[in-house]
Chains A and B, each alone.
Chain A
Amino acid sequence: MEPKSCSGDGNPSRNLHPSKPLMAANFLRCLSRIQQTATNSSVGSRSRRIRRAAYASMAYSAGHRRAWSWALLRKLRCRRVRPVILPRRPRIARPQVVIEIDRAEVLRKLVPGGTGMDYCRLLEETADYIRCLATQVRLMQTVTDSISS
């Protein structure tokens, strides 16, 4: 597991991604760029770009060691190209899955790059992805708060 980010005693950043500053910098950079270059575009397109920037900065800060960041970066870089279909590993059906929805499959769809993983690795990637997502959300909230205030 990645080391938790250094958090202050009173700072509940235990769940923050360790590369939060990097993420923040990346995101802000992208944000500023977007705001500068797309001032005349619609809100929707801008929001899409911002969202993509958010994911990109998230994936970039996470680095290439995580499968999800790697897959995300690939997807973002080739967004104009058809998404690469990763080789699917045969899913091992678990008893509960047989009867109900395959939660592992749902999770695989949610986490980028999760389609080609086994369950064990999927959980690991999910944990890291959740951490990064939470960090990104907090970052964006801070940005919006600071902007709106």
Chain B
Amino acid sequence: MEKEGFWGQQWQATGAKLPPELNSGSAASDQLPQCFLNLNWKQPMAHDADFESALSSLVSSPCSNPPASADGSSIGELIGRLGGICNSNDISASSPYPSADASCYSTPLNSPPKLNLSVMDHRQQGRGGPPMPVNRVPGPQLGPFSAEPGFEDGAARLSCFAGRSSGSFAGQFGFLDPGNLSEASRSQCPKAGFGSCVGVGQSRSERPAHLEMKMRPKIDGSSTAEESEVGNGPEESSLSDRMTAEASSLRGITDNNSGKWKTATKRKGRRAPLSSSATNPPANMTEEESSDAKRCKTADRKGGAKNEVAKPKTEKNGHPGHREGKDNDHQPPEPPKDYIHVRARRGQATDAHSLAERVRREKISKRMKFLQDLVPGCNKVTGKAVMLDEIINYVQSLQRQIEFLSMKLATLNPQTDVSMENLLRKDIYQSRGPMPQPVFPAEIGTVLSYAHQPQTIALQSIVTSGLEAQFSLNSLQSSLRQSQSLQHATTDAYTDASSQLGGLWEDDLQNVAQTGFGQNHGQTHTGHLKIEL
């Protein structure tokens, strides 16, 4: 895209480190915000959404940067970008983004219809240095900004952006009253955006305060309303996404301002230029848009969850133009952070990662729930770490129990036949409850087939108990069918067993051996078995 390249050029220098970060999507540090800025700039232009994203990036990046250092430059950049965005349509390609700040400022001023830049301008300029750390940058740069409209557009975008992102943006910027912004932004994106944008430049903490004070009055002004509106459509989605990632403090601010911005944005032309500029950014945005739907929703849900996750989502929202059903009221649940984790939108890669990550998380949580049921006493435990501890303890205890029981068994040295018989019976009736029999044939079959040993007595006992158990079941056949593979072997085994047993056993046993497992010779055997037990 022209815009991308246009912005990219500028950013390349500044965002040298960005690409790797962007690609990696690592969360972050100060660098991320910058990346965000850079990346957003490249993409956003295409539509309002883009614009918003750019704005958000602008906002976010400065916010994340340490307040002290980045204020001046960030603000300047922010302003410049705003201007750039505003004038994006006009500028479209070229103007570029001069040295990051100055150019931005210059370009935007030209286009936009109503620009609250003037507000910014003179605020910035009037203040000079101290009131706003950024002043130094904006000062000269604001000159170009004198074209309010452009700035307004930018501001509007930012407001929209902030509004959508529900306050995260606002939180970040700390630009306006957090409470206000959040309300406004939530409702409509645009209004606060502007305020938040500006605030963002400053970094949420003190600096934004300066801007806040200054901007607020301006923002409240009518002009801003228009701008805020402008950014509504496309920006909302993108911004909202971005915003979710960002601090929620902005939310308040944006909300507050959104109302005011509305009027400003009404001014009509804003959208056009914004959209045109938004349209520029092209490919990246489209990609994002595709994932926007998901991102939007996921961003909302997980806005507060993780920065890393949220970022890609928000970025993905670069929807080009209209947010059809996007939820603009994303309220980033996560509290405002000192820095914003913004991940550069890099097409599908990030998208897939985020999606896969989400799916993976859901899978893991599902399994943890299942484990919770298995491990006794884990119902009240919450949290993965504690849960894992419990699981580990339980597994260790089970393994220790097995060792202990094996030692015990070794020491007991029981009589084989007796033990077998008893074991089988008890095991069947104690552990399996009312339906041991159906499985018994299989078990017996297994025992007989595997333990084809000359343990006559043991076999006899097993067979006896097994047969007795069988007799009482009418569903033997079904269970036998299940263990058909064993049946053949067991039949043979039974034959052998029966032959071995000789006449010691009841007639039933022989019958069973002859007929196989599928015979229920009567319920009496069950009673017989029980008595034996």
Contacts and interface: CB of A to CB of B under 8 A. Distances in A.
Nearest to A142: B427
Contacts of A11: 431-434
Most chain B beta-carbon neighbours within 10 Å: one of A39, A46, A104 = A46
B523 interface: no
Contact of B423 (A16, A48, A124, A142): A142
B16 interface: no
Contact of A133 (B371, B399, B428, B443): B399
A128 to B, nearest CB: 9
B412 A147 contact: yes
A20 B427 CA distance: 10
Interface string B104-145: 000000000000000000000000000000000000000000
Interface in A6-20: 6-11, 13, 15-16, 20
A25 B440 CA distance: 9
Contact of B407 (A9, A15, A47, A120): A47
Nearest to B360: A120
B215 interface: no
A9 B388 CA distance: 30
Interface in A107-132: 107, 110-111, 119-120, 123-124, 126-127, 129-131
Interface residues of A, number: 68
B402 to A, nearest CB: 6
Given A130-B395, A143-B427, A137 B405 contact: yes
Given A25-B443, A25-B446, A134-B398, A123 B371 contact: yes
B433 A96 contact: no
B392 A140 contact: no
Interface stretch (B55-63, B83-91, B160-168, B450-458): B450-458
A76 B395 CA distance: 19
A129 B388 CA distance: 15
A145 to B, nearest CB: 7
Nearest to A129: B395
A127 B399 contact: no
A147 B418 CA distance: 8
Contact of B371 (A7, A24, A46, A127): A127
B499 interface: no
B11 to A, nearest CB: 30
Contacts of A43: 407, 410-411
B123 to A, nearest CB: 41
A28 B440 CA distance: 14
B389 to A, nearest CB: 6
A111 B405 CA distance: 19
B406 A127 contact: no
Contacts, number: 195
What interface size band does chain B fall in?
Answer: 35 or more
A24 B427 contact: yes
Contact of B419 (A21, A44, A103, A143): A143
B468 to A, nearest CB: 15
Contact of A140 (B360, B396, B409, B411): B409
A110 B394 CA distance: 11
Nearest to A15: B374
A33 interface: yes
B192 interface: no
Contact of B433 (A7, A26, A33, A149): A7
Contacts of B414: 35, 147-148
Contacts of B401: 137
A80 B432 CA distance: 36
Nearest to B424: A28
Given A120-B367, A133-B395, A139 B427 contact: yes
A8 B432 CA distance: 7
A11 B410 CA distance: 29
9 contacts: A11-B434, A20-B439, A21-B432, A21-B440, A104-B388, A120-B363, A129-B395, A144-B409, A147-B422
Interface of A: 1, 6-11, 13, 15-16, 20-22, 24-26, 28-29, 31-33, 35-36, 39, 43-44, 46-51, 53-55, 96, 100, 103-104, 106-107, 110-111, 119-120, 123-124, 126-127, 129-131, 133-134, 136-149
